[in-house]
Chains A and B, each alone.
Chain A
Amino acid sequence: MVAAAITDNAVEIAPGVHWVGALDPHLRSFDIILKTANGTSYNSYVVRGENGVAIIDTVKENFADDFFRRLESVAKYEEITTIVLNHLEPDHSGALPELLKRAPQARVYLSSRAQMMLKALLKPSGEKPPEYTPVTTGDEVDLGGRTLRFLHTPYLHWPDTQCTYLVEDGLLFTGDIFGCHFCDNRLFNDTVGDFRFSFEYYYAHIMRPFREYVLDAIALIEPLELNLIAPAHGPILRHAPRDYVHRYRELATPRLFNEARSEKTLVVFYISAYGNTRRMAESLAAGAESIGGVRVSLYDLEGGESGIFTDLIEEADGLAFGSPTINADAVKPIWDVLSSLTTVNVKGKLGAAFGSYGWSGEAVRLIEDRLRGLKLRVPVEGLRIKLVPDAGELDACRDLGEQLARHLTGRVEHREIDMAALA
């Protein structure tokens, strides 16, 4: 944080619209997963209409005093008719229980998915939930001469997220979308320091797993007249706000040119101590390739780094992992890859595991469990081969590859099974 200390009062961001958030310059990591080298901000806003006042989001509980002090500088609690919750994560809803006590007459507007979260949030206070209205795209609240219109923008980055558009002013309150962890008391994007890295870093860690939803949200936002974007973290985007929408579209577009085009893609990762798991991988890949319609790639994890493979995995339709078993576990390079996939969406991709082993061979089952945990589908049982695969066992690897390719291309033969036969 730089420059003179910010006033305790609210900051006007448009006529009759004030920032009443809080600055947290000393925070160094957020939600465990994000580094915040210069802290963050929790942005909350007050919108004044002729018939009432709306509060858009609140702040983290520890910063409630700052929020209420700024709020009191521009509105009285009895004037508050409307509380909009664009996102119920505690950094934006921490001051809500106290706000509801101070303005019990206010009606809460939130997305349909947020209802259960609201009840969970108020549980410790013992307060019964306030009067609330679930809203979706196109629903409006009339503040008197000013209209709040809601946009259903789920999964950015929780299922409950939404945006709120102040129609007459072309002002969009976006929750975490277009936000970043960057604390600067000059508040506006044309006056703060260089926050480009923070903006992209935030997208990469928070929004990237939900890029399909980002594109859906952008489709709703792009047609709007946009004079200002007011996110829930970081600088308020009053200069060229549409540039940030364009940048989100770029970021949400697949990172790699799709070499496979209409083909399905299967990426086979392996690591091998004595070449046995490698031979399994090669046979599996050859089997998958033989089916046609599948572009197969083979990667030795020893020759790469897990971060590099993330883009590849994000684009792949199917993933197979081969690992020997060492000390009753899959080896670390496998876990490094499988623990670095929270920033991309792998749900529903095809997954499989295989590996050579000496004594106990736990790696394959452990990898399969992890793949299921990541919400991949694992329709073909993995293949464990004791030590050196012989010709028949390599044929089994080839068969596994063929089965994976058939699943990827929708050419799997129908099977009838009795549940009693399943493990």
Chain B
Amino acid sequence: MPKAKVTFQDIGVSVTVPAGTRLIEVSEKVGAGITYGCREGECCTCLTKVISGGEFLAPPSILEDQVLKDNMAPRNHRLACQAQIIGGEIVVKPA
């Protein structure tokens, strides 16, 4: 299975993950500072800054895109409960 690497900058941890993993699945396991509310892409609690490698995340769904707009999220921000890692190397931290 293709692998990817995601680094949680706030806790200094890099995790090798299978492609297709969502950020939420790994961030909670390593205790990163990204916090979650609804876990369904509506509440925007898990807003996350993508420092690099944003192109290695699957594009936001219509719902995620709308929630990001509604919350006036800056560029290069994603919802960790929605964002799916598709490969490469990604660096993130809590917004």
Contact = CB atoms under 8 A, between A and B. Distances in A.
A341 to B, nearest CB: 14
Which of B17, B33, B37, B94 lies at the interface centre, i.e. has the most chain A CB atoms within 10 A of its CB?
A: B33
Contacts of B36: 375
A348 B15 contact: no
Contact of A419 (B21, B37, B44, B71): B21
Contact of B14 (A159, A348, A378, A414): A414
B83 to A, nearest CB: 16
A17 to B, nearest CB: 31
A383 to B, nearest CB: 14
Contacts of A147: none
A99 B43 CA distance: 28
A414 B70 contact: no
A115 B42 CA distance: 12
Interface residues of B, number: 28
A379 B32 contact: yes
B29 A419 contact: yes
A105 interface: no
B11 interface: yes
Contacts of A264: none
A423 B29 contact: yes
A412 B12 contact: yes
B60 interface: no
Interface string B27-64: 01111110111000011110000000000000000000
Contacts of B29: 419, 422-423
A370 interface: no
Contacts of A412: 11-12
Contacts of A159: 43-44
A379 B71 contact: no
Nearest to A379: B31
B16 interface: yes
Interface of A: 112-113, 115-116, 134, 136, 159, 347-348, 372, 375-381, 407, 412-419, 422-423
